[in-house]
Chains A and B, each alone.
Chain A
Amino acid sequence: GESVGLHLPTLSVQEGDNSIINCAYSNSASDYFIWYKQESGKGPQFIIDIRSNMDKRQGQRVTVLLNKTVKHLSLQIAATQPGDSAVYFCAENEGGGADGLTFGKGTHLIIQP
């Protein structure tokens, strides 16, 4: 798989490889984090979330890792498929909703055959 540093606008991976998308968040008081996938012409689609009392959570082919010490969030996608091609956003929230979600800059994941 390919590991990248903090936020890249674009990440290109080979089909079948693992993808890792990184995100740095700013608010140390944030306690809820979400990853979204946005395809062209559509709204953001929920992938996986994690609360601040956890450091890892797994879903179907996806894993989110949270490092509160350095305020870093990552999304790992296993065995990347063509349908995974999209822009991925991390989002954070403090206290459950008062100020909505604060979104990070997106990473455009490109899948190469």
Chain B
Amino acid sequence: KAGVTQTPRYLIKTRGQQVTLSCSPISGHRSVSWYQQTPGQGLQFLFEYFSETQRNKGNFPGRFSGRQFSNSRSEMNVSTLELGDSALYLCASSPGRGQAVFGYTFGSGTRLTVV
């Protein structure tokens, strides 16, 4: 079966702009989680969506937001980009029944560079 698909793979944006990243989960998976990966901070949890509702949120500013559609596809948005937002953004999907972290499958990520 198809894996988790993230688009685009690479993105370059300018400070102050906004960006939207997309994640299509594995068919049948209803939970989508987002993580930010940087060399300095490592992998950090952003938020998790299940059945179009944000269930959990990490410690990130309000500039980071997301949503989930009825087909479980998810988008995350970062507004007013800062240089420090340059990172690999990873999406993970899981069946979501019960515990979100069980059965995580990660996508290959979107590499965002802010200049």
Instruction: Enumerate chain A interface residues (CB-CB to B < 8 A).
Output: 32, 34, 36, 41-46, 89, 91, 93, 95-106
Q: Is the interface of A mostly helix, strand, loop or mixed?
A: loop
B42 within 8 A of A: yes
Flag if A103 contacts B43 (CB, 8 Å): yes
Residue of A nearest to B3 (CB): A43
Cross-chain contact A43 with B108 (CB below 8 angstroms): yes
- In the bound complex, residues from chain B placing their C-beta under 8 Å from that of A98 are 55-56
Contact B48 A97 (CB under 8 A): yes
**Interface hit among B14-22, B65-73, B79-87, B95-103:** B95-103
- B33 in contact (CB, < 8 A): yes
15 contacts across the A-B interface (CB closer than 8 A): A32-B101, A34-B104, A41-B108, A42-B108, A43-B107, A44-B90, A45-B106, A91-B43, A96-B100, A97-B55, A98-B56, A100-B46, A102-B45, A103-B43, A104-B42
| A43, B91: Cα distance in complex, Å | 9
Number of interchain pairs (Cβ within 8 Å): 65
Q: Is B25's beta carbon under 8 Å from chain A?
A: no
Q: Using Cβ atoms and an 8 Å threshold, which residues of chain A touch B7?
A: none
Q: Which residue of B lies closest to A39 (CB)?
A: B108
Chain B nearest CB from A1 CB (Å) reads 26
CA distance A11 to B100 in the complex (A): 32
Q: A46-B105, A96-B99, A96-B101 are in contact. Are A89 and B43 (CB under 8 A)?
A: yes
Of B4, B45, B55, B98, which one neighbours A101 at CB under 8 angstroms?
B45
Q: Which chain A residues lie closer than 8 Å to B99 at the CB level?
A: 32, 95-97
